Amino acid sequence: MLAASVLWGTTGTAATFAPEVGPLAIGAVAMGLGGLLQALVAAPQLARHAPRLRWRRGTVLLGAVSVAVYPLAFYSSMRLSGVAVGTVVSIGTAPLASSVIERAVDGRRLTRRWMLAASFGLLGTVLLCVAEASHASDQAGPLSVAGTLLGVSLGVLAASTYALYSWTAHRLITREIPSRAAMGAVFGLGGLLLVPVLLVTGAPLVDSWSNTAVGAYMALVPMFAGYVLFGWGLAHVPASTATTLSLLEPAVAAVLAVLVVGEQLPAAGWVGVALVITCLAVLTAPTGSGGRRGRRHPRRLAVEDRRCGEHAEIRSDEAPPTPYAPSP
């Protein structure tokens, strides 16, 4: 999960090398091509587990629509409200959205450890936002109020869809579908939904070699490789933990902006980076029973019984399809 967050943190810096490419084109090429590549690589697993995926088609479709909406909202939010504000709203509020979904749908209780880690992470992300926003306003002047409000609204939409596709992928994985098949189905279908957007807005991507290189990098590295790692991580942690770990992304983006782009990060921003690292340390520190449980074989998945809330461990390649009704 942390490795995926590091890769995602490079997208803002990469996009600076193609400033004439619009946010819709960037989002469509990154998530669209990256999703189609995931489906292509996972084709054998998709064919093998097609009956189970059809049984959970409602969950797959919900995840795919969320995958298609997320990059369009995320990159548009950054373009309208600024990179700092767009990132902090989109990524910083995703753990809260995930916790609401898990609490409402799964009845999952939030641990004190998660709440402590999330508090550190959100505070650190807010400090990063304030620091970067103040630096940007000193250079470019205040952004329009209407554009900022629209950007924040799109950031909330991005956070909600990020939480939704994380939850749907985790739900498929814990319902006897291997992570590669689950991610290939959700992101492959989401990538198909983004193809029309790419065809309409993607002309600037082929105007120059640098634009093409940025598009290829976004699709192959942070989106394809990053979400492969993300899928593996979702096999072992709930969606709320996954989205909290992704708070590393804005910290990585801020550091890269300093080292590569040449921006300056005020002291408050470095305090924010430190708080995000503290959040990750609290969340990933091993515990007695949790650490032992986390070392089980990756092919043994915890399957929750929807009716009684009990847990059992089964091998994903041996269990028959469950007789339950499809999840929404």
Average pLDDT for residues 310-325, to the nearest whole number?
A: 39
Give the C-alpha distances (Å, rounded to integers) separating 145 from 150, 152, 221.
9, 11, 35
Tokens 């198909």 — which residue? 192
pLDDT at residue 48, as a whole number: 93
Cβ contact 57:328 at 8 Å: no
Comparing 39-53, 185-199, 306-320, the range with the smallest average pLDDT is: 306-320
pLDDT at residue 14, as a whole number: 83
177 burial class (0-12, 13-18, 19+ CB within 10 angstroms)? buried
pLDDT at residue 132, as a whole number: 62
pLDDT at 82 over 90: no
pLDDT at residue 84, as a whole number: 64
pLDDT at 296 over 50: no
CA 49 to the chain's CA centroid = 24
220 burial class (0-12, 13-18, 19+ CB within 10 angstroms)? middle
pTM for the full predicted model: 0.73
In percent, the amount of the chain with pLDDT more than 90 equals 27
pLDDT at 205 over 60: yes
What's the pLDDT tens digit per position in 149-193?
787 789 889 989 998 998 998 889 888 888 889 999 999 999 999
Mean pLDDT of the chain: 77
Give the C-alpha distances (Å, rounded to integers) separating 311 from 174, 175, 288, 304, 315.
11, 12, 19, 5, 13
CA distance 194 to 182: 18
Residue 44 binned pLDDT confidence (cut-offs 50, 70, 90): very high
pLDDT at residue 308, as a whole number: 41
Comparing 142-146, 203-207, 309-313, the range with the smallest average pLDDT is: 309-313
